[in-house]
Structure 1
Amino acid sequence: MTKNSEFPKSPALNDSTWTGMVPVDDTALAATDTGGDGIPIIYCNGQFATQGYWKRVIAELGPEFRHITFDERGRGKLSQASSDYSFEAAVRDVDAVLDARGVDKAIVVGWSYGAFVAAHWASRNPDRAIGLVPVDGAQAHDWLTDAMEVRIRKLFKRLRWLTALLRPTGLIPRLSAAQQAECNIELGKVSRKAALGPVLDGLVVPTRYVLASGASLGSKGDEQEKIRASLDEVVARNPNIEIHAKVASNHDHILRKDFHSIAEAVRVVNALGLQNH
C-alpha cells in the first residue's frame, strides 16, 4: 500500500487523506481514506461505477465522519483486473479494505449493486457494522427470468463496441461484455427472495433505505417500482429496517441529485448504531 499521486482529487480530500492500493487475492484495489477521528463509513459502489460517485455525499457529511471509498476489481483507472468478479469476492473486498485501513467498526453504505454487497456484509458482521444505508438496491425480488437473461446478454453484446472505446478512460470497467453480463445475471440470482430475504430478515443493525423513483438504464415500464415495492414485506418483518426516504431522482441520478437524503439516512443510522454499540 503506497501513496499514489495518480488518484483524482476532490473537495472531500484533505491533508490527512490516504490514497493507495489494497492487495487482495490476485488483484489490488484503489482506495481512498479521508482519515480523522470521525465514525468510519465505507462506501460500496454500483456494479460498474467508481468511488468518485460518492463525492457529493461525502462533502455533505463532512469531517464529522471518516470516509473510505474504493474501486472494485477491474473498475476505475487503477484497480487491477482479477480472475474472480463474483459477488462473494465483492463482499470479501469490503473486509480487505477495512482491514487494510485498520478499521474495526463502520457504517456501510451501498448504491445499486453495492447495496446488495453492503447488506450481505452487514448481515455477516453484526459486531462490525454500526449501521447500513442501502441506496436503491438490496431488494428481495424474483426479477431474473430466462427471458431477462437473454435480454441482459443481448444488451451487453450490443454495447461492447462502446465499452471497448471507453475502457481506457476508467469510466467503463475492464471486464469483457460477457463478464459484465454474467455479473448482472449473478445479481439477479442474489436478489431472489429465497436468497436475499433471509439476509435482510437477519439484519440486527439499524438499516435505512433511500429509494429512487421511476426506471433506470436497461429497465422497462414499472419493473423498478415493482422491485422497490417488495421492500414493504421486509420492513414489516424486521423492525431494524425502515425506508428513510423515497426521492424524485431515478436510479441513475440518485447519488448526484439526492445526496442530502442519503446523508440524512447516514446520520440516523449513526445515532442509532452508537446507542447499540
Structure 2
Amino acid sequence: MTTARPAWTGLVPVDDTALHVRDTGGRGRPVVYLNGAYADQSHWRRVIADLGDDYRHITYDERARGRSRRSADYSFEGAIRDLDAVLEARGVDRPLLVGWSYGGILAWHWADRNPDRVAGAVVVDAFPVGLTGEEGRDRIRKLFRRMRLFLPIAARLGLAARMTADQHADVNIELNEIGAASTPVLERLTCPVRFVLATGDSLGSRGGEMERGRTVLDPLLATNPNLAVGAKVPSNHSKILRHDSPTVARVVRELAASPGQAAREAG
C-alpha cells in the first residue's frame, strides 16, 4: 500500500531563490502542475477540485511569480532545475505532469530528459510553434512595453511576474524559440502525452495564428503513437483553465487509468 503523505506548504530553495510549493499529500498518484509563463499556481484550483482526493496534487510558483522569491535567472533551464528541486524536496517519483502553455513545453522537455522518471504528461494548449527571428523578437518586446504599466497590477492577480517589461519579453522570446524547435523532442517522446487544445487566438496573437499553430501537431500525432489529442475545447488559450477545467481533469483521469500506465509503473 502506498504510504500516505502529509499535506505540506512551504518554500523550496533552489539556486538563488526559493519556490512557494503546496502539496496536498495523501496516497493518490502524484500530479505535478506546471504553470503558464507568468501565472501562479492558483490557476489550477478548479482542475484540482475536479480531480479530488484520488490524487496527490503538487503545485508551485515559478521564480518571481506568486509567493516565490525573485532570482537573477528566469531562463528555461532555470525552470527545469526548479521542477527537479520540487520533485526532490517532495520525494516524488514518476509524476504525472500537467502543464499549461509554458508549463506544457516544460513538461515535454523534462519528460524527454527523464524518460524513466515520468508517468506521462497532459499538455494544455501548448504546441511546437513560436514567433522567432528579429521580427518576432521585436513584436514581443513591443507588446510587453505597451503592457508595462499593467504588469504590476497583473502580478497581484497571478497573471504576471514581478519582473520588468523587458524581463517578461526575454522569457517569452526564449519560450517561442524553444517551442518552435521542439518538434524533434515530441517526435521521440516515449511517455504517453495527451493534448487538451483551446480554440482561437489569445493575447499577443492575431489572425488565426494559434489555430494554425495547433495544426503543427497533426504530423506528430500521425507518427508518434505516444501522442494523442485528449480534447478540443471552445475556450481560448487564456481562459481554458477557467472555463474547461472539467475537461482537463477528465483527460488527466483517462491518462492515469490507461492500460499503459500500469505497465510503466511496474517497469
Normalising by structure 1, report the TM-score.
0.90
**1:167 CA drift (Å):** 4.3
Alignment of 1:3-14 (within 5 A): none
Look up the match of 2:110: 121
The root-mean-square deviation of aligned C-alpha atoms, in Å, is 1.5
C-alpha spacing 1:226/1:20, structure 2 compared with 1 (3 Å): same
SS in 2 for 1:73: coil
C-alpha spacing 1:160/1:127, structure 2 compared with 1 (3 Å): same
* Corresponding pairs, count: 259
The percentage of aligned residue pairs carrying the same residue is 51
**1:170 CA drift (Å):** 5.3
Matched AA of 1:98: L
Match of 2:28 among 35, 38, 50: 38
Matched AA of 1:183: V
Normalising by structure 2, report the TM-score.
0.93
Match of 2:233 among 240, 243, 247: 247
Tell me if the contact between 1:91 and 1:118 (Cα under 8 Å) persists in the aligned partners: no
Look up the match of 1:8: none
1:23 aligns with 2:13: yes
Tell me if the contact between 2:20 and 2:68 (Cα under 8 Å) persists in the aligned partners: yes
Runs of at least 5 residues in structure 2 that lack an aligned partner in the other structure: none
Look up the match of 2:72: 83
Matched AA of 2:84: D
* Cα distance in 2 between the residues matched to 1:90 and 1:168: 21
Alignment of 1:1-277 (within 5 A): 16-76=6-66, 78-137=67-126, 139-141=127-129, 143-167=131-155, 171-192=159-180, 195-272=181-258, 273-277=261-265
**1:146 CA drift (Å):** 2.2
Matched AA of 2:112: S
Describe the superposition over 1:97-131 as per-residue Cα deviations: whole angstroms up to 9, x where unpaired.
01100111110010011100011111111111111
**1:233 CA drift (Å):** 1.1
Matched AA of 1:200: L
**1:168 CA drift (Å):** 5.5
Tell me if the contact between 1:130 and 1:274 (Cα under 8 Å) persists in the aligned partners: no
Describe the superposition over 1:156-201 as per-residue Cα deviations: whole angstroms up to 9, x where unpaired.
1111112134545655311111010011110111012xx3111111
* Cα distance in 2 between the residues matched to 1:68 and 1:231: 28
C-alpha spacing 1:142/1:170, structure 2 compared with 1 (3 Å): closer
* Cα distance in 1 between the residues matched to 2:193 and 2:60: 22
Runs of at least 5 residues in structure 1 that lack an aligned partner in the other structure: 1-14
Describe the superposition over 1:13-70 as per-residue Cα deviations: whole angstroms up to 9, x where unpaired.
xx94311000001100000000000000000000000100000100111110000000
Tell me if the contact between 2:42 and 2:158 (Cα under 8 Å) persists in the aligned partners: no
SS in 1 for 2:73: coil
SS in 2 for 1:160: coil
Matched AA of 1:68: I
**1:74 CA drift (Å):** 0.5
Tell me if the contact between 1:201 and 1:237 (Cα under 8 Å) persists in the aligned partners: yes
* Cα distance in 2 between the residues matched to 1:203 and 1:167: 34
C-alpha spacing 1:213/1:169, structure 2 compared with 1 (3 Å): closer
Tell me if the contact between 2:140 and 2:169 (Cα under 8 Å) persists in the aligned partners: yes
